Amino acid sequence: MTAYRFYNPAPVLMDLLGLKPCAGGSLTFYQAGTTTPKLTYSDQDMAVPNTNPVQLDSSGRSNTNIWLDGGYSVVLKDAGGATVWTRDVDSGVDDGLVIPGLQSGLFLTNDGSNLLWGDFFRLPDPTGSDGFMVTASAGGYTLTPPPEIPEPASSTATSMKINDQLIQRGTGSISASGTKVASTSIAFPIAYDEAPVVVATIARGSGVVAAGFIGTLGVTPSASGFGVAWDLNIPNNGSEFNLTSPV
């Protein structure tokens, strides 16, 4: 709390006519604008309250220090109880407002009722971080590189690249084996960093073998290409089921 002194330490308070000291009078203290009694104190730390009203001596002075806290309405009465005057007194600081002791590296803020010290949100040392961005991190801030600008999509007759995604397309052939199975290997024009997903289909009319069947394909991809196997996968035997033309 922040206390302040009521006028000078020992004022002479005059009577109703203002001609002589208000000997034996009293000062009564109320909450500002009310008739609710409010304490004053004989010390700045507000540890020792005064009586209310505070009695005046024969010289019209209070024999105790009067320290106030916030706003008051003060009534001076003479020895007979007649009101001499009523005054409002206010330090401009709300009652009970606590100003905490200084703390290094903090700033003064409040929680709506009390003053308190709060942390500064400080940015890290920018040395070596030219062009970096401020990013919230763990209740504070850090400096991070800006995101990379996406590369524009590029394409050729057989490929399309968007950022780090590469799609390649093309055709290849499996030579005629004269049996119901055949295989080959196909290299990618542009190698990948790791084995990609490969989708292979048969491009051949209504059938592959003379009997009209197409068969199935299986692929084994790698970063540089893939193996592809063709299998008619039927129990029938006969030359009409053998691969006699490239797939």
pTM: 0.40
Structure confidence by residue, pLDDT tens digits, 23-40: 899 999 999 999 999 999
Q: Please report which residue ranges of the chain form alpha helices under DSSP H.
A: none
Q: Which of 3-17, 102-116, 204-218 has maximum average pLDDT?
A: 204-218
Domain boundary among 97, 116, 134: 97
Structure confidence by residue, pLDDT tens digits, 41-83: 999 888 999 999 999 998 888 989 999 988 899 999 999 999 9
The residue assigned the tokens 């004022």 is 11
In a domain, 227, yes or no: yes
Alpha-carbon gap, residue 97 to 79, rounded angstroms: 35
* β-bridge pairing 54-55 and 159-162: unpaired
Q: Is 70 left (phi over 0), alpha (psi -120 to 50) or beta?
A: left
In a domain, 127, yes or no: no
Structure confidence by residue, pLDDT tens digits, 151-208: 778 889 999 998 889 999 999 999 999 999 999 999 999 999 999 999 999 987 778 9
In order of 4, 49, 51, 81, 206, the CA distances from 27 in angstroms are 17, 14, 10, 10, 115
CATH number at residue 53: 2.170.14.10
